[in-house]
Amino acid sequence: MTVRTRWLIGVVAAVGYGLLWVGWVWHWPWPATVDASLLDPAYRYGATHPGWVRGWRWMCTIFGPWTFHLVAVVIAVVALVRRQRRTAIFLLVGVVLSGVVTELAKDVAHRSRPLTALAHEPSWSFPSGHALGTMAGALGLCAVFRLWGVARLKLIEVVCAVIVLTVGVGRVMLNVHHPTDVLAGWLLAFMWFLVCLPILTSGPATTGPAPTTVRAGR
């Protein structure tokens, strides 16, 4: 990704996030219509199918942001062992500290959870912390794996994409987030990733031997 392309995508993401934020603050009709069109059927089904709700709760718990944070910390330790300090810093800032970005963004928006929430969540609703955390984690980890030349990278990227999408859908299915919260979380995560990416790509990523390509065993 060139610097120009990175800036262009970042601007598009920022504009999208800004429109969603302003749409909530100014109570534009279209975000409310989009939210209701997806929340209402999800609530009607979930309210009569407790097993369905329980399954989505487990999904969002197991593959939530903390899972990506844990993996990022482990990979950061590996990077430090290989004397790749920039890579370790990138993972800690871009992935683990994305939780701080979430809380700051929530405090600015102060949007309440949907009244039809099928699970208890104590924090504000906009943006979705699960959406932001999983997206930031997936982008950060895949960037490092690509730098390291990890085998079967395409498969890893597909798995990460499926997890991000599934968790985002799960937050809506549980009615703990408006769909626009989830979209805003994805957009803000992408912006945070682009802000942090120069840590990984600017200058040498290692003070020791160059990273070797990881190949799958035969």
Rounded to whole angstroms, the Cα distance separating 208 from 194 reads 26
Q: pLDDT for 144-193, tens place per residue?
A: 999 999 999 999 999 999 999 999 999 999 999 999 999 999 999 999 99
Looking at residue 1, what is its pLDDT?
A: 63
- Helical axes 179-201 vs 98-109, angle rounded to 10°: 140
The average pLDDT across 95-112 equals 95
Rounded to whole angstroms, the Cα distance separating 187 from 16 reads 7
- Inter-CA distances, 118 with 21, 27, 122, 148, Å: 24, 24, 13, 41
Peptide bond into 127 cis (omega under 30): yes
The chain-wide mean pLDDT, for the chain, equals 91
- Helical axes 29-47 vs 153-173, angle rounded to 10°: 90
Helices (H), 29-152: 29-47, 50-62, 65-81, 85-91, 98-109, 129-148
Main-chain dihedrals φ then ψ at residue 143, nearest 5 degrees: -65, -40
Q: What is the dihedral of CA 169, 174, 179, 184, to 10 degrees?
A: -80
pTM of the model: 0.90
Give SS3 for 123.
coil
Domain ranges of the chain: 39-201
Q: pLDDT for 33-74, tens place per residue?
A: 999 999 999 999 999 999 999 999 999 999 999 999 999 999
Helix (H) and strand (E) counts in the chain = 9, 0
